[in-house]
Structure 1
Amino acid sequence: MLSQDLARYVELQHKLGFRFRVQNTLLKSFVAFAERHDDRHVQAARVLEWARLAPSPQQRRNRLLTVRRFALALSAEDRRHEIPPADALGHSPLERRIPHIYSADEIAALMQAAARLKPTGSIRPLMYETLFGLIAATGMRISEALSLQLDDLTADGLIIRQTKFHKSRLLPLHATTRDALDQYLVARRRLGTLNSALLVSAAGASPAYSTVIANFLQLARSIGLRGGPGQPGPCIHDLRHTFAVRSLEQCRHDRDVVGRHIAALSTYLGHAHVTDTYWYLQATPILMRQIAAAGEALHQGAVS
């Protein structure tokens, strides 16, 4: 019964316009856990038992709150579904996670580790090397990269059709990025798959989001970027933050130039509002030196 309830709930979320990918994965895991115990309704104790299996406090709270929203929807129809307390596993600190800004050497090490993936000689290592390099070079969302089709690669750049805010945009590509994609396409054509996805695994289909994340974590740990499971560290989305910050570092520190650059960057990243782009910016030594220089120039102008 819970499986049927979940199917209806997921269908509703999709009709409302939500991708609901990560939540769906978590809820499937919970429902499988509950049904192994012959549960026909959500039980608060079972939710907590399952949530506590997660390796970190943040993940345990996320599990709890995800199932709690599911239980709230089911309880509106059937009061036998129990709603676990939102604070049963404590309160999440209201702190912004500081993104990791990758160095060029770290990105190169990640791509080199991807190129060593097994099976050797298959398209899998090249696909992951290309995927991570593409995200780093364009700042696109991983979901956008995995949704790319062959026809989306044009002479003018990449057309991003599957966006978070349902808006298409064109991403001009640097010559080196285009060359890397062309080299990948040579190998992809040898695979002979009929799938139209741009990025495909050895099976000939686009890899699942969860599979990409799992492989990223494995590679990041193998090169010392992350610790063991449950320990914090750089994530794949930080490549998008890195693109935004490094882009701003290259901008001439003139107020008008920076303003135009931020507007262009916001469009390139596919943000609905320019204020969303500010969230992606993080202080780095280069930016702090530019800020100090701008402040000094402003002070000197005021004194004179």
Structure 2
Amino acid sequence: MNPLAKGIRDYLALRRGLGFKLVRHEAGLKEFASFLARKRSSHITVALALERATQHAQQQPAEWTARLCVVRGFARYWSATDPLTEVPPLGLLPYRPARAQPYFYSDHEIRKLLRAAKTRPSIDPLRPCTYHCLFGLLAVTGLRLGEALGLRLGDMDWSEGILTIRGAKFGKSRLVPLHTSTCKVLADYAKRRDERFGARAEGYFLVNLNGNRLDKGEVHRAFYLLSRQIGLRAVDASRGPRLHDFRHRFAVETLLRWYRNGEDPKRRLPILSTYLGHAHVTDTYWYLTGTPELLGAANKRLEKRWEALNAGSR
């Protein structure tokens, strides 16, 4: 194994030890190492990194930027070992990936969606209950879709009302407490599911018509259909509210509740960050600029602090 290949292996092992999965990074770095070998170069240079990133002219600029970012991360690490390594600077490519603008669901819209899910005709009598349960769970817990679909029967502690989320985005497990009303809905679904498929400790909690794990693509298609049915999306719209926006709403609602109760959200942000399964508190800060209502609450808190400071200085 040449030094560069060993460096890539060690870099991936180090990052994975911190909880990152890096599936795309591994493939991208191996391709880049092969590219350097074809170029007969044993050192990373900005020119070669840029050439590799933009090699396929038919690809979107977003793909070029993503490929270059993968190399940049490794180059920063590898430069400590190889002083001839050049780290591609930020902004080398013009494309700036933008986060999708979140949609803030109203309580009325969520109720309409859940009602539509529960009453939608289906050849599978369990299917309406499954989607009603899934969409409701996403709305009240802020779970990622993959986390909800990955829940197994043994992940629910009925006596304590706690879900265990295993193998989440960054490989960390966490506990998610549930309201008694949520537990009641989940228990009702579990009873219906067990009556049909039997209780299997290792089985998935939310299942398809065969008793297996729900497919993500199938879930998204069902959500889009129901969204159009209740008017959340236009019939011919390719974009609109997403399932992930339930997670955004949960975070914003939590922050708003803290503001309204006179608590300091920034002090409590690590709690929300842990609950959501974020790797860093900085990942949660994005929600602080989420909605006009949240910004208004933040401004009111700031005004009160200024008033208190001014009163104290008189």
Task: Report the TM-score when normalising by structure 1.
Answer: 0.69
1:254-282 deviations in Å (ceiling 9; x for gaps): 88632342111111101111111122444
Query: Could you tell me which residue of structure 2 aligns to residue 185 of structure 1?
Result: 190
Three-state SS of the structure 1 residue aligned to 2:164 is: strand
Three-state SS of the structure 2 residue aligned to 1:279 is: helix
Give aligned-pair identity as a percent: 36
Q: Is the 8 A contact 2:259 2:298 kept in 1?
A: no
**Cα shift at 1:119:** 1.8
- Tell me whether 1:237 sits opposite 2:244 in the alignment: yes
Mapped partners of 1:120, 1:97: distance in 2: 35
Query: Could you tell me which residue of structure 2 aligns to residue 61 of structure 1?
Result: none
Query: Could you tell me which residue of structure 2 aligns to residue 126 of structure 1?
Result: 129
**Cα shift at 1:231:** 2.5
Query: Could you tell me which residue of structure 1 aligns to residue 91 of structure 2?
Result: none
Letter in 2 for 1:108: R
Mapped partners of 1:90, 1:224: distance in 2: 32
- Tell me whether 1:88 sits opposite 2:58 in the alignment: yes
- Tell me whether 1:144 sits opposite 2:147 in the alignment: yes
Query: Could you tell me which residue of structure 1 aligns to residue 295 of structure 2?
Result: 288
Q: Is the 8 A contact 1:241 1:281 kept in 2?
A: no
CA separation of 1:286 and 1:77: change in aligned 2, threshold 3 A: closer
Mapped partners of 2:237, 2:33: distance in 1: 31
CA separation of 1:76 and 1:284: change in aligned 2, threshold 3 A: closer
Return the index of the structure with the highest Cα Rg: 2
Q: Is the 8 A contact 2:233 2:241 kept in 1?
A: yes
Query: Could you tell me which residue of structure 2 aligns to residue 107 of structure 1?
Result: 110
Correspondence for 2:234 among 224, 227, 239: 227
Mapped partners of 1:83, 1:303: distance in 2: 55
Correspondence for 2:273 among 266, 271, 280: 266
CA separation of 1:203 and 1:73: change in aligned 2, threshold 3 A: farther
Task: Report the TM-score when normalising by structure 2.
Answer: 0.67
Mapped partners of 2:277, 2:131: distance in 1: 23
Mapped partners of 1:91, 1:115: distance in 2: 42
CA RMSD of aligned residues (A): 3.2
Matched residue pairs, number? 243
CA separation of 1:175 and 1:260: change in aligned 2, threshold 3 A: farther
1:69-110 deviations in Å (ceiling 9; x for gaps): 69957975998xx99845535545533321111111111111
Query: Could you tell me which residue of structure 1 aligns to residue 41 of structure 2?
Result: none
Q: Is the 8 A contact 1:118 1:124 kept in 2?
A: no
CA separation of 1:87 and 1:265: change in aligned 2, threshold 3 A: farther
* Structure 1 stretches lacking a partner, 5+ long: 1-15, 24-65
Three-state SS of the structure 1 residue aligned to 2:240 is: coil
* Structure 2 stretches lacking a partner, 5+ long: 1-15, 39-51, 63-94
Structure 1 outlier segments of 4+, above 4 Å: 16-20, 68-79, 82-87, 253-256
